[in-house]
Amino acid sequence: MFRRRMRSLRDRNVFVTGAASGIGRAVAEAAAREGAVLHLTDIQAELLDSVADRIRADGGRVPFVRAADLSDYEQVRSLAADLTREHGSMDVVMNVAGISTWGTVRSLEHEDWRRLVDVNLMGPIHVIEELVPPMIEARRGGHLVNVSSAAGIIGMPWHAAYSATKFGIRGVSEVLRFDLRRYRIGVSLVCPGGVRTGLTETIRIAGVDKDTPAFRRAQAGFHRRAVTPEKAAEAILKGVHRNRYWVYTSNDIRLVHWLQRYFPPGYVLAMHGMNAAANKVLPDVARARRRETA
């Protein structure tokens, strides 16, 4: 059965986006420990080189490293052409890279929506366009990993723009899990909840003053519940090995997804509660703005 064929990544060509930090870095390091041949990209060139050097110093194989903006199709096409020509087709493609901006529909700017779509949705699509056809032509099978989010499953507050992209990649994955089966290419849709990455400190929340006490309390609560990037990477690799479509990095997202599907009233109640808790931050923001304009 194809379901059992990729028990190990040893000697497999594995391409990882967003490899300079967070989940991308953690999954690249974990794959290296399994003996994978890593090909890495990220928009942060210096951090990417540092990660690659560290993996090599630990005995890992990283023959291809290139910084790229995945929202730029021409950059992805050039990268993919060079990668395939020099190293052949990939066995595993991991779309991990992404950005996050939250906000209400009144506070989000048009550029926020556009940038999220360009990076989080079109970026993975560009990678799929250029790297999956060579996998098909190679006839070796393989695996495609697309990192969505809890916001690609449920209606989290202030996530409309972000969710548009994460539901989008979920839709792409839902189709490809069936379209690619005939080529023995599995698909995993990863839906992380809270993960303790640098993004949690730098994330932009349109219209929210992140220095208010209310926001700091909410942030501290997030950190208490969040898993490490290494834990998320472990779940991803397990999903690849077992050919799982749904991959959760924490049980809270698994539970709320179960509620959504099998007990809708409980899901609606949970979403109302999340929304009410999130909106407690807004009065502090309004007061901060009044002080700025006084």
DSSP label at residue 9 = -
Residue 147: C-alpha distances to residues 44, 167, 186, 232, 272 (Å): 19, 11, 14, 11, 26
The parent domain of residue 39 ranges over 2-293
Instruction: Compare 105 and 238 and report the one with higher pLDDT.
Output: 238
Q: Say whether pLDDT at 285 is over 50.
A: no
Q: What is the pLDDT of residue 260?
A: 95
Angle at 130 between CA 185 and CA 197, to 5 degrees: 80
User: What are the tens digits of pLDDT across the range 255-264?
Assistant: 999 999 999 9
In the predicted model, what is the mean pLDDT of residues 153-171? Answer: 95
Q: What's the sign of the alpha-carbon dihedral 162, 167, 170, 175?
A: negative
User: What are the tens digits of pLDDT across the range 207-239?
Assistant: 555 555 555 655 555 555 678 999 999 999 999
Average model confidence (pLDDT) for the chain?
89
pLDDT tier for residue 196 given thresholds of 50, 70 and 90 = low
Residue 245 appears among annotated catalytic residues? no
Q: What is the pLDDT of residue 292?
A: 40
Q: Could you tell me which of 129, 14, 135, 16 has the C-alpha nearest to residue 66?
A: 16
User: What are the tens digits of pLDDT across the range 4-45?
Assistant: 568 899 999 999 999 999 999 999 999 999 999 999 999 999
Given a contact cutoff of 8 angstroms between Cβ atoms, the answer to whether 99 and 21 are in contact is no
Q: How far apart are CA 85 and CA 102, in angstroms?
A: 39
Q: What is the pLDDT of residue 24?
A: 97
Which of these is catalytic: 73, 162, 183, 248? 162
244: domain CATH number is: 3.40.50.720
Given a contact cutoff of 8 angstroms between Cβ atoms, the answer to whether 21 and 198 are in contact is yes
Angle at 144 between CA 142 and CA 15, to 5 degrees: 85
Q: pTM here?
A: 0.88
Pure H helices in the chain? 22-33, 45-57, 73-87, 110-116, 123-138, 160-179, 199-202, 213-225, 229-241, 251-262, 264-278, 281-293
Q: What is the pLDDT of residue 107?
A: 87
Q: Could you tell me which of 16, 58, 21 has the C-alpha nearest to residue 199?
A: 21
Q: Say whether pLDDT at 188 is over 70.
A: yes
- DSSP β-ladder status, 185-191 and 92-95: unpaired
> Domain total for the chain?
1
